[in-house]
Amino acid sequence: MIQTQTPDCDALIVGAGMIGSACALALARQGLNVSVIDRDHLNQNAKAEPRRVSAINLASENILKRLEVWDEILASLPQTFERIEVQDEGSSGTISFDAADLGLTHLGHIISNEAITRALHHALDKEQRVSLRFGQAATAIVSSGSSVTVTLDAHETISARILIGADGANSRVRELAEITHQESSYDHMAIVATVKPELPHASCARQRFLASGPLAFLPLANNECSIVWSADTEKAEQLLALEDEAFALELAEAFEHRLGSIQKVSPRAKFPLVRRHAVNYIGERIALIGDAAHTVHPLAGLGANQGFADAATLFEVISNASSQNRDLASRSVLRRYERWRRGENALVLKVMDGFHGLFGTDNPAVSRLRGLGLNLTDNVPLFKETLVRYAVGLEGDLPQLAQMR
């Protein structure tokens, strides 16, 4: 009689960032044994400047609350945003969204990625069912029968019932599993920095579409703002080469001094903007979540929220299968996750591509059309409310962890 070897764990997650850690915590709380590995070393980027932040919407807030890490995240003093303003440089078009119009206190929070990850890691450290290891990278994947075996760079192996790739845009899991993806460059770089404006930001997230690309001011505590300035490579390199004082002046002028002068600028960083989408989200006993499955232009701040929705959805389908004593990584189970999330993420990618194309041209006729569209939308309350409800995570086919109760 042939005996089947018991896997080392139920779920092996590669990637201990926000999305992988959230998925690990949810699965462990459901009674599964979870191993998490990450190629980076703990706290490698904890003190990095500028701080990388995410606009966390209400759906993601619900997920983090149900994972019982929200109170620790709040202790890091995240900044709520109660209003969103969008303006087009090339026309008179403007649109705004206000939490009060929806009967809400806020539309979301601007939170440092490090604060979210730290809170999740603290929670994982308390879970007896979780093994969290840093400085470990996957070098080979073999799926066979009822388990998948991952070889690490130290030649150690770990077997699991399911392997979850949460290892970012350049996912090693995706590569080793030979899951193809579509990739195209937006031909833009994003410049990020933390700045302190002269005038109060008033808990408002602001975005201005320039001829060079969108410029966002995201409110932080102590009246600071995180800026994300998307521009073609030549313009981005010019901006990075400026001294702080000259950059602050150009930034204030590009934003029409809406927040007055820029009084302080952190070190700046850049990263290329690339659109990626995995053709499949699953393989044999393998699932991809977050940036490993998709990356999108940051102009709407949806990337992290898509990732948290992936994690919560995968948790839900695995949990349901486990409670029914089904194979939690069978093709039929993982296909439910793929059908649920890939279509919605593809729609977001298409919408962002459309916005990028529409606002990425200075053609006068297109500029007039943009302005007309923004102003019309701003004056049609029902359509406007539907847009913002979807953006903040009150509408859509949401997993249970993300739903309002």
CB 231 within 8 A of CB 268: no
Q: Is 161 a member of any domain? A: yes
HSE-CB for 95 with a 13 A CA cutoff = 20
Q: Is 222 a member of any domain? A: no
DSSP 289: -
Q: Is 239 a member of any domain? A: no
* Cα–Cα distance, 314 to 132 (Å, whole number): 20
pLDDT of residue 367: 64
- Smallest CA-to-CA distance from 182 within 27, 75, 342, 31 is with 342
Domain at 334, CATH number: 3.50.50.60
**Number of folded domains in the chain?**
1
Q: Is 165 a member of any domain? A: yes
Low-confidence stretches of the chain (pLDDT < 50) are 1-3
Q: Is 140 a member of any domain? A: yes
CB 69 within 8 A of CB 356: no
Q: Is 302 a member of any domain? A: yes
pLDDT of residue 388: 83
Q: Beta-carbon neighbour count of residue 350 at 10 Å? A: 11
Q: Is 224 a member of any domain? A: no
State the Rg of the chain over Cα: 22
Domain range enclosing 278: 9-79+109-183+274-361
CA 269, 272, 275, 279 torsion-angle sign: negative
- For the record, the structure tokens of 362 come out as 């200075």
Q: Is 127 a member of any domain? A: yes
HSE-CB for 25 with a 13 A CA cutoff = 28
* Cα–Cα distance, 114 to 228 (Å, whole number): 17
98-131 pLDDT per residue, tens: 999 889 999 999 999 999 999 999 999 999 999 9
167-205 pLDDT per residue, tens: 999 999 999 999 999 998 888 899 999 999 999 999 999
Please name the residues in contact with 320: beta carbons below 8 A apart, sequence gap of 6 or more.
none
DSSP string of 8-46, one letter each residue:
SEEEEEE--SHHHHHHHHHHHHTT--EEEEESSPTTTTT
pLDDT of residue 315: 98
Collapse the DSSP code of 260 into the 3-class scheme (helix H, G, I; strand E, B; otherwise coil) and give the result. coil
- Smallest CA-to-CA distance from 374 within 29, 94, 70, 175 is with 94
* Cα–Cα distance, 256 to 176 (Å, whole number): 48
- For the record, the structure tokens of 197 come out as 């404006």
* Cα–Cα distance, 329 to 98 (Å, whole number): 42
* Cα–Cα distance, 206 to 87 (Å, whole number): 8
pLDDT of residue 3: 43
